[in-house]
Amino acid sequence: MTELTYRATGVDPTRAEKSLAQIRERIARTRTPEVIGDIGAFGGLFASPGADRVLVATTDGVGTKLEIARLLDRHEVVGTDLVHHCVNDAMAMGAEPLFFLDYFSTSRIDPAVFARVVGAMADACAAHGCALIGGETAEMPGMYHPGAYDVAGFLVGMVAREAILRPDSVSEGDVCIGLASSGLHTNGYTLARAIAARIAGEQGRDVKEALTTPHPELGGRTLGDALLVPHTSYLSQFRALRSSTHVRSIAHLTGGGWEGNLPRALPAGLGAVIDRGTWEVPAIFRVLAELGTVPEVDQWDTWNMGIGLVVIVPASDAPAALRVVPGAVAIGRVEATSGPRRVRWAA
Amino acid sequence: MTELTYRATGVDPTRAEKSLAQIRERIARTRTPEVIGDIGAFGGLFASPGADRVLVATTDGVGTKLEIARLLDRHEVVGTDLVHHCVNDAMAMGAEPLFFLDYFSTSRIDPAVFARVVGAMADACAAHGCALIGGETAEMPGMYHPGAYDVAGFLVGMVAREAILRPDSVSEGDVCIGLASSGLHTNGYTLARAIAARIAGEQGRDVKEALTTPHPELGGRTLGDALLVPHTSYLSQFRALRSSTHVRSIAHLTGGGWEGNLPRALPAGLGAVIDRGTWEVPAIFRVLAELGTVPEVDQWDTWNMGIGLVVIVPASDAPAALRVVPGAVAIGRVEATSGPRRVRWAA
């Protein structure tokens, strides 16, 4: 009878190590003084901040943006996105990033793809002074379609106890400062992909062709390029705001769009009135909405529509906020509300 | 033209929230005094343990054990496994668990399955005094086969700086104490599944039938039952050992089996000689090896073969170690080595 070995079943425990070896230097560059020991131990070691600090932990994926990145052979964006998404989530609690770990799961590791994804994560970590101290690479034959993979990121940051951003600190009349997004970031891609599939079908082309054809309404860019812009990290803007204003709370506009996220930065009983005339919705959202005949409420409940982060400050601090962050816009204000929907459109 | 909405594409942002609502109380029971605020914020908050401590971070999945659990409708085991795997990895650095986050990814959330998996995680966290402070639930249509899902866990623990377990502290002559595993734990399931598929094929049955037929060599248990025993957590044994002996280092025998893990607990130049006659390899491993005609080297390079954790102590502490942990066995000792393989079999 034929012998069965682990390798014969499609799992090669050394493949992950070999893939990792390619990017060891880029990972090493994420090292900060608090890191103790080397990667490869059973756990990553990081000197704890003092007891006056609070740890902020967050985990995220990048959703089906993965599938577009894979289709167009643009794997780096996935790694960048994952780190930026986590950095923003921790920052929404007031935190600076400390360290990051990743989970990479696929049916059969492609070392080149792995190195591109995790290498980009390492670079994004290094750019944020965040140490990449561990990761798990899982090879699960039969679980994923050939070439498909999933990634998850885990980030721990820290904030001084008195600097934790608290929705409870928000009052009626506070101002919502909007920071521009670079596109869909990492949310609403299943809808975007359905739209791409529909137009491909209508035009008798495949999805890849539909994604790689220059589009006049996108200024000649392709839909694929517009969909694969990396998730913006707002850490530098946040630092500028924190040093010049009293940041009350922050909403990171991700899955669930406006209604799904802005209320998370507000106390019970308060909502926000947002004037959509204060910024221009980027072309990618208008194009997708038109191609897919997406109802307006669904657009705003799914996508960020051009604003990736909403920072809430006292009205008296709004001018300072707008001054220290070029491009920031006062998009609305906090108001009392009693309805089931807490985001009201002024225009 | 038909409107496209996010729900029409198969993603329902409220499904994850509804699923979570079912297990909110079980999650609440994991709360420890260090937890600040509530789940649902952009990040979980946890009071820093202080600058004399070191944080230990680890991430794991459960591999294709997922597929067997799913086939046999035994989803709870996956949640328990994930927590126990992470607890053991952090413990291998000397750490006590502090908090945990999970990532759950699927094509379409089944609220009942989600509640069983994540509910079991919460219960396992509560049993370890570990707070479940966050998670991400991703719905990615088309990424997974119907019903399939993946999970990743992320755990942060802490250890006093002087109590970090360091392979460098291990010397020639130190004793390897073996703690029994409950089965395969979470590694080598792709090989186990290939074996189940082969015997099913030979017997003209489907895999589920092959997994649910009582097996005489397993004492009448089924292969499925033997494969779905939860990953053992060794935290209580570790605490007993730490309080009575000088624990030098620990190897958690997971992916890569003996050669893949035991050397990780040893400094360069040292290996271990292990007497395999000191414990009985559990029936599940013998049955799998026989059914699959698995070469001996592959068995030991893939599975834990009955020992889930190897704790290295000075020879003078071995009697105390065996006394405080009932069932622990002195399985070998540390020796100088120069070969490419660092685990040598004495018998």
Query: Judged by CB atoms within 8 Å, which residues 299-318 of B form the interface with A?
Result: 301-302
B2 within a domain of the structure (yes/no): no
| Chains A–B, number of C-beta pairs less than 8 Å apart | 282
3-state secondary structure of A342: coil
> Is residue B263 domain-resident?
yes
Q: Are residues A251 and A288 in the same domain?
A: yes
CB contact under 8 A, B41 and A264: yes
Q: Considering its fold, how many domains does chain B have in total? A: 2
In a domain, A96, yes or no: yes
Average pLDDT over residues A127-143: 93
B338 and B228 inside one domain:
yes
Q: B191 near B300, Cβ under 8 Å? A: no
pLDDT band at A37 (very low <50, low <70, confident <90, very high): confident
* Residue B35: half-sphere exposure toward Cβ, Cα within 13 Å: 22
β-sheet bridge partners, residue B54: A47, B159
pLDDT tens for each residue of A284-322: 999 999 999 999 999 999 999 999 999 999 999 999 999
Contact A42 B89 (CB under 8 A): yes
Sheet holding A35-36, edge to edge: A35-36, A44-47, B53-61, B149-160, B96-106, B131-139
Q: Assign residue B210 a region: left if phi > 0, alpha if psi is -120 to 50, beta otherwise? A: alpha
**What's the rounded Cα separation, in Å, for the pair B91 and B158?**
9
For B272, other C-beta atoms within 10 Å of its C-beta total 27
Domain co-membership, A82 together with A220: no
Which H helix or E strand runs over A309?
Answer: strand A307-313
Write out chain B in H/E/C secondary structure.
Answer: CCCCCCHHHCCCHHHHHHHHHCCHHHHHCCCCCCEECCCCCCCEEEECCCCCEEEEEEEEECCCHHHHHHHCCCCHHHHHHHHHHHHHHHHCCCCEEEEEEEEEEECCCCHHHHHHHHHHHHHHHHHCCCEEEEEEEEECCCCECCCCEEEEEEEEEEEEHHHCCCHHHCCCCCEEEEEECCCCCCCCHHHHHHHHHHHHHHHCCCHHHHHCCECHHHCCCEHHHHHCCCCCCCHHHHHHHHHHCCCCEEEECCCCHHHHHHHHHCCCCEEEEECHHHCCCCHHHHHHHHHHCCCHHHHHHHCCCCEEEEEEECHHHHHHHHHHCCCCEEEEEEEECCCCCCEEECC
**Interface list for A 144-163 with B (CB within 8 A):** 144-145, 148, 150, 152, 154, 156-158, 161
Q: Is B340 exposed, middle or buried (0-12, 13-18, 19+ CB in 10 A)?
A: exposed
Q: Are A148 and A115 in contact (CB under 8 A)?
A: no
- Chain A: nearest CA to B278, how far in angstroms? 26
Same domain, yes or no: A147 and A185: no
**Nearest of B294, B230, B302 to residue B259 by alpha carbon:** B302
**Phi, psi at B62, each rounded to 5°:** -120, 5
Alpha-carbon gap, residue B63 to B150, rounded angstroms: 8
The confidence band for A17, taking pLDDT boundaries of 50, 70 and 90, is: confident
Chain A 179-198, residues with CB within 8 Å of chain B CB atoms: 188, 190-191, 193-195, 198
| Residue contact A157–B43, C-beta within 8 A | yes
Cβ distance A57 to B44 less than 8 Å, yes or no, reads: yes
Look-up: residue for tokens 């990634």?
Answer: A151
Same domain, B66 and B174: no
- Closest residue on chain A to B11 (Cα): A190
Answer yes or no: are the C-beta atoms of A158 and A312 closer than 8 Å. Answer: no
Q: By CA distance, what is A164's nearest residue in B?
A: B45
pLDDT value for B39 = 57
Q: Are strands A270-274 and A343-345 parallel, antiparallel or unpaired?
A: parallel
Domain check: are A125 and A192 in the same one? Answer: no
Instruction: Closest CB to A57: pick one of B133, B194, B295.
Output: B133
CATH number, position A122 = 3.30.1330.10
Quote the pTM value: 0.96
Average pLDDT over residues A63-78: 96
A187 and A157 within one domain:
no
Q: Say whether A103 and B148 touch across the interface (CB within 8 A).
A: no
CATH number of B304's domain: 3.90.650.10
In a mutational test of the B interface, the residue from A12, A34, A48, A207 whose CB has the highest number of chain B CBs within 10 Å is: A48
CA A187 – CA B11 distance, rounded (Å): 11
Backbone angles phi, psi at A278, to 5 degrees: -85, -10
Q: Does any domain span residue A3? A: no
User: Which residues from B are below 8 Å from A252, CB to CB?
Assistant: 42
**Residue that is last in its domain, among A146, A163, A180:** A163
**Would you say residue A1 lies in a domain?**
no
pLDDT band at residue A40, thresholds of 50, 70 and 90?
low
> In angstroms, how far is CA B155 from the centroid of its own chain?
12
Q: Say yes or no for a CB contact (<8 Å) between B40 and A264.
A: yes
| Distant-in-sequence, close-in-space partners of B236: CB < 8 Å, separation ≥ 6 | none
Based on the domain organization, do A325 and A181 belong to the same domain?
Answer: yes
What 8-state DSSP symbol labels residue A227?
A: H
Closest CA to B269 of B178, B171, B174: B171
Query: Could you tell me the CA-to-CA distances from B97 to B58, B123, B129, B289 in Å, in that order?
Result: 10, 14, 7, 35
pLDDT in tens, chain B (347 residues): 578 888 888 888 778 788 888 999 999 999 999 999 875 578 999 999 999 999 999 999 999 999 999 999 999 999 999 999 999 999 999 999 999 999 999 999 999 999 999 999 999 999 999 999 999 999 988 888 888 999 999 999 999 999 999 999 999 999 999 999 999 999 999 999 999 999 999 999 999 999 999 999 999 999 999 999 999 999 999 999 999 999 999 999 999 999 999 999 999 999 999 999 999 999 999 999 999 999 999 999 999 999 999 999 999 999 999 999 999 999 999 999 998 999 999 96
Residue B221 lies in a domain: yes
- Is B1 within the bounds of a domain? no
Residue B154 burial (CB count, 10 A): 31
Domain end (from B163, B198, B229):
B163
Query: Cβ of B93 and A43 within 8 Å?
Result: yes
C-alpha span between B41 and A251 (Å, rounded): 10
Contact A6 B301 (CB under 8 A): yes
CA distance A238 to A244: 10
* Lookup: tokens for A340: 């089931």
Q: Tell if the CB–CB gap between A9 and B191 is shorter than 8 Å.
A: yes
**What residues in B contact A2, CB-CB < 8 Å?**
293
Q: How far apart are CA B332 and CA B31, in angstroms?
A: 40
> What phi and psi, each to the nearest 5 degrees, are found at residue B190?
-65, -40
Q: How many helices (H) and strands (E) does chain A have?
A: 13, 12
Which run of H or E residues covers position A258?
Answer: helix A257-261
Q: Which residues share a beta bridge with A157?
A: A56, A97
Which residue, of A163, A195, A224, is where some domain finishes?
A163
- Residue for token digits 């080598």? B188
Cα atoms found within 13 Å of the Cα of residue A44, Cβ hemisphere only: 29
**A18 and A149 assigned to the same domain:** yes
Contacts of A302 in chain B (CB under 8 A): 6, 13
Confidence at residue A142, expressed as pLDDT on a 0 to 100 scale: 83
Smallest CA–CA distance, residue B298 to chain A, in Å, is: 6
| Domain match, B159 and B172 both | no
* Residue A334 to residue A312: CA distance in whole angstroms: 8
Q: How far is CA B314 from the centre of its chain?
A: 27
Distance from CA of A131 to the nearest CA of B (A): 12
DSSP state of A263: G
Q: For chain A, what is the mean pLDDT?
A: 95
Residue B57 β-bridge partners: A44, B156
For B300, the domain range is: 167-345
Q: Which residues 64-93 of B are in CB contact (within 8 Å) with A?
A: 64, 66-67, 89-90, 92-93
> How do residues A195-227 score in pLDDT, each as one tens digit?
999 999 999 999 999 999 999 999 999 999 999
Give the residue carrying structure tokens 């958690």.
Answer: B252
Nearest CB among B101, B148, B250 relative to A57 is that of: B101
Residue A4 domain-assigned (yes or no)? no
Residue in A closest to B202 by C-alpha:
A1
Residue B161: CB atoms within 10 A of its CB come to 14
Q: Are B6 and A102 a contacting pair at CB < 8 A? A: no
Contact B103 A256 (CB under 8 A): no
Same domain, A207 and A232: yes
On whether both B243 and B111 belong to a single domain, the answer is no
User: Which of A1, A3, A4 should we substitute to test contact with B (largest number of B Cβ atoms within 10 Å)?
Assistant: A4
> Are the beta carbons of A45 and B67 separated by less than 8 Å?
no
Q: Which of A93, A133, A264 sits opposite B45 (nearest CB)?
A: A93
Tally Cβ neighbours within 10 Å of residue A165.
26
Contact A64 B293 (CB under 8 A): no
| Residue A12 touches partner B, C-beta closer than 8 Å | no
At residue A10, the pLDDT reads: 82
Out of B3, B52, B92, name the one closest to residue A43 (CB): B92
Nearest residue in chain B measured CA to CA from A90? B43
